[in-house]
Structures are given as structure tokens and as C-alpha cells.
Structure 1
Amino acid sequence: MAGGLILLWFLLLALPATVAIAVHGVIQLCANASRAWFSRHYINFRIVAIISSGGALAAVGLALVNYTPNTAIVSLLIGLMPLLVWIPKAWFRFDAARPGHAFCCGVVAGGLTIASGVSGPTIDIFFIRTHMDRRQIVATKAAVQVISHSIKIVFYLSAALTLNMGQWGLILLAIPFAIFGTRSGNAILRRLTDARFRYWTRWIVTAIGAFYFVQGLLMVY
């Protein structure tokens, strides 16, 4: 579930932030589409529809203010996201199964997907406290991300079109590896309990987020 965070870091090393986010969207769209397909029987489509509508609204808002990211902003935003999964459960009762919460999830996560390229840790706080099991969480989140990345690609389409055919060829070569990683992840998922899944999700995204945050601070100062 944290593969997208790692992928974006490599892309930001080689490309401007707007182009990196667009390319990330293309690769992650394919990876999440494969994950959603492999787990399609566990997808909650009602939740997907509500969250996606909130994400579309966020995209319109950012387009109206002509938002343009840079690598420092992206790094700081991603670095702060993992803090959300450590907020004590008693502080809030977010639940993606509740329509109002799902829509808020879409607005917040959709805005962060465009602003920073990823939003997985944000979506997690709406899913990790639901009564859904790990398979339903992964499948439904993957379906949500398919739509989120599609919106992100459209938002940064003009930046993506600056790449030449050779660069797109390399990007297309990365897609099968992303799908293979997703397939491997599903095999690991079957071996985890729900408790272990939640435990490792928190620690992995926190470690990666800390690295991003330090990188962002170094760029600013």
C-alpha cells in the first residue's frame, strides 16, 4: 500500500513536480486497477462512488485557483500525512462506510492527491477504523485510487504532454513491474491478520513520511 510513496520519490528526482505527479498517476492507475481487479469481489462500490464525487469537487476547486506544486511542497505534504494515522481513535470516529464521512474523505484525499501526488495515508484514517476486513479495505481503496489517479492525470495532462516518446516508452516499461508488485502484495496480504495489517500500514507509511519531511525541510532551508 506504500508503493506509490516510494515510486513518487524516484520520479521527483528525475522530473519536475507537475510531470512527476502526472507520470505517477499513469503508473499507479495501472497498479491500482490490477489490485482492484484481483480483489474485485471485495469492493464496496457505494463507498467508491461517494469518495470519488468528493475528489472531483476538490479537483475543480484546485483548478479554479490554478494550483501548481513544486518538489519541496510535495515532500512536506507527504511527510506530514502519516501523522494522521497516529491520531488517537477517541479523537474522532471517521468511517468510510458512512456517506458524510466518505464524501469528506473524497474532498480531503482528492485535494491531497492533486496537491502532493498521493493521499493513501489520509484515506487510511477513514478505512482503518471501519468494520471492513483487510481485503475489503485494500480492494475498495484500490478502486477509489483508480478514479483519483484518473482525475490527477487529467489535471496535469498539459505537463505530461511535455514528455517525448522515448520517456513514455520507459514509463510503459514500469507498468508491468507495478502490476507484478501488486500481485505479490496480494499474496502477502493473505498471510496477514487484520491486526498485523493495520500495524504494518502505520509503521511503513510513517517511516517513508519521515524521510519525505526531512527532504522537504532540506529543500526549503
Structure 2
Amino acid sequence: NVSRAFIHRGHLRFSSVKYYLAGMAVSFCVISLFRFVPGKALVFGMLGIGPFIPQIFRGRVKLDFTKPSHAFFCGLAITCMQLMAGVSGAALSMFFQDIDMTRHEVISTKAFTQAISHVTKLAYFGLVVPRAHAVAGLPPWIYVAVVPAAVLGANIGRHVLNRITDRQFYKATQVTLWALGAVYLCKAALLLAQRHA
């Protein structure tokens, strides 16, 4: 995300990001007070239902990151998901579907918000939540390999982004969100089934 944000830095929509940052700060402070760590089934269920919310409430709910109140709510919700689930990309994308932003602005702004969210997550799990909740067991070489892989992926993505239209970009994003949502819902169902088995 950091490399994508840097590559597309000229397209950042800061007029909306400032409201996102305000929402993020509020969410971080509230969650830090309770030091809440949810169960995996709840997390996957929340992540899974997210991409389908606009379809369920079609015509009644239209999330739009360019609107200040929506950007603020996005900061609240995405930070909450980052701190509780560790991931929030699919949920974040719901605020960027068919809005008045180019694909380059979407990529830049999403990458920036995700990069900041990762810093927030590191602060939360490094300083607020006890070490018992930290993920362990990853070999050290993983951390070394991830950085160049991420930079390479961001550069390849830039070339793909330059070759497609905004319409193609939004369509591909929507299909990807639905697929991820289905996977997360299946994972949540499996975890619940195992719990009650």
C-alpha cells in the first residue's frame, strides 16, 4: 500500500482523506479504551456481508467517499475492522464504487488510507493490546520477501491501471468484492459449524 500510495501520490484526494483521518482517530481512541479483540467467526462474517450491503439496500444506501460524512464514517468503520480483523480492503472498496473519482484517484486514496491504517494497527497491537494477541510463527524471511513483492506488484498494477477504463476498473472491483465476500462468509460458516460440532 505504501508503494502504491507513493506511485500514485499525485492523484490523492486529500479533501476527503482528512475526514477519514478524523474518523480513524475517533475509532482508534474508542477501541483502545475497551481493548476489544473479537472472535474469528464474527470477523469473517462482518467482512463477508460488507460487499453485499450496497446490493441489499440498493437505492437506499450509496456509500461515497467524496462526501465528508461518508469519509468520516469510512474512517470509523475501516479502522474498527483493521483493529478487530486485521484486514479491511473489501470493506473499504464499498466506499469507492461508482463515485466521482478516476481509477487513479481511487487507487491512490485507498492505498494511502490503508497504509495509515496499517500504522494504526501496529500501534494498537504493539502498544495497547497485550502481546498474547500477537500473531506468531512466521519465519523471518517472509518479512524480507514481502517488501519487494509488494513494490513489484504495485508497479505491475500501475501498468494495468493505465490500460483499462474507469468503467472496467469499477466492474472488476465489484466482481472481486463479491468473490471475496462469498469466501469470507463461507469461512465464517465453517468456523461456526466447527464451534457447534
For the aligned pair, the TM-score class normalised by the smaller chain equals 0.7 to 0.9
1:197 to 144, 166, 169: 169
Distance 1:168 1:84 in 2: 39
Distance 1:204 1:104, change over 3 A: same
Quick one: structure 1 residues 148 and 167, their matched pair in 2 at CA, closer, same or farther if it must change by over 3 Å? same
After TM superposition, give the deviation of residue 161 of structure 1 in Å. 6.6
Q: Tell me the equivalent position of 1:17.
A: none
Alpha carbon RMSD of aligned pairs, Å? 2.2
TM-score norm. by structure 1 comes to 0.76
SS of residue in 1 equivalent to 2:157: helix
Name 2:118's counterpart in structure 1.
Answer: 149
Q: Which residue type is aligned with residue 17 of structure 2?
A: V
What residue number does 1:75 align with?
A: 44
Contact 1:74–1:117, Cα closer than 8 Å, also in 2: no
Given the alignment of the two structures, is residue 210 of structure 1 paired with residue 182 of structure 2, yes or no?
yes
Q: Is the CA contact (8 Å cut-off) linking 2:3 and 2:150 kept in structure 1?
A: no
**Aligned residue identity for 2:74:** C
What are the ranges of 5 or more consecutive residues in structure 1 without an aligned counterpart? 1-31
* SS at 1:92 equivalent: coil
Report the counterpart of residue 43 of structure 1 in structure 2. Answer: 12
**Residue aligned with 1:41, SS:** helix
Equivalent residue, structure 2, for 1:24:
none
Normalising by structure 2, report the TM-score.
0.85
Distance 1:103 1:148 in 2: 14
With over 3 angstroms needed to count, the CA separation of the structure-2 counterparts of 1:197 and 1:58, relative to structure 1, is: same
Output aligned runs, 1:126-145, within 5 Å: 126-145=95-114
> Residue 26 of structure 2: which of 39, 57, 63 is its match?
57
Give, in whole Å, the separation in 2 of the partners of 1:47 and 1:156. Answer: 27
Identity of aligned residues (%): 29
Structure showing greater radius of gyration is 2
Structure 2: unaligned runs, 5 residues or longer: none
1:28 maps to: none
- Taking a change above 3 Å as real, the CA distance of residues 78 and 94 of structure 1, as seen in their structure-2 partners, is closer
Q: Secondary structure in 2 aligned to 1:156?
A: helix
**2: distance between equivalents of 1:163 and 1:118?**
17
Alpha carbons of 1:168 and 1:71: their partners in 2 closer, same or farther (altered >3 Å)? farther
Match of 1:187 in 2: 159
Q: What is the Cα deviation at residue 128 of structure 1?
A: 1.9
Letter of the structure 2 residue corresponding to residue 106 of structure 1:
G
